[in-house]
Copies of this chain bind each other. A is one copy, B any other.
Amino acid sequence: MKISSAESVIMEALWRKTPLTSEAIIAEVGEPNGWTEGTVKQLISRLLKKKAIAAQPDGRRYLYSPLLARRDYVQAESQGLLDRLFDGRLAPLVTQFSEGGKLSDEDVAELKALVERISK
């Protein structure tokens, strides 16, 4: 099942720290996003329905944990973008940022080191 943009904010909170109660999630993402308690609860419910997170009983409340690994999510999202926009190739994406002047010197240095290491 597909995870929506608002839902992914909840996922990110759970990936940062797991498990969390709904109260903690609300505290974590409510304020920054201007969401009421009801909104966050609804997002949690939808994530449960989508089997993206699990709820384990803890007294009278639940502790929520991700069922979907962040790595897998990120991998799928990235691959999707690459396929849709760059014909599945990574180099053109890097070129895009480079030409857009979006690469800091540090970015370039990091990339350089990274590529060196990979190609060893």
Which residues on B sit within 8 Å (CB–CB) of A91?
Answer: 107, 110-111, 114
**Cβ–Cβ contact B115 & A112, under 8 A:** yes
**Cβ–Cβ contact B98 & A74, under 8 A:** no
CB distance from A77 to the nearest CB of B (A): 6
Give a binary string over A83-120; 1 marks a CB under 8 Å from any B CB, 0 the rest: 01110011101111110101100011111101110110
Cα distance A103–B119 when bound, in Å?
10
Give the residues from 37 to 76 in chain A that come closer than 8 angstroms, CB to CB, to chain B.
71, 74-75
Which residues on B sit within 8 Å (CB–CB) of A116?
Answer: 112
**Cβ–Cβ contact B81 & A81, under 8 A:** yes
Cα distance A86–B96 when bound, in Å?
16
**Cβ–Cβ contact A75 & B100, under 8 A:** yes
**Cβ–Cβ contact A107 & B81, under 8 A:** no
**Cβ–Cβ contact A81 & B84, under 8 A:** no
Cα distance A25–B107 when bound, in Å?
40
CB distance from A80 to the nearest CB of B (A): 9
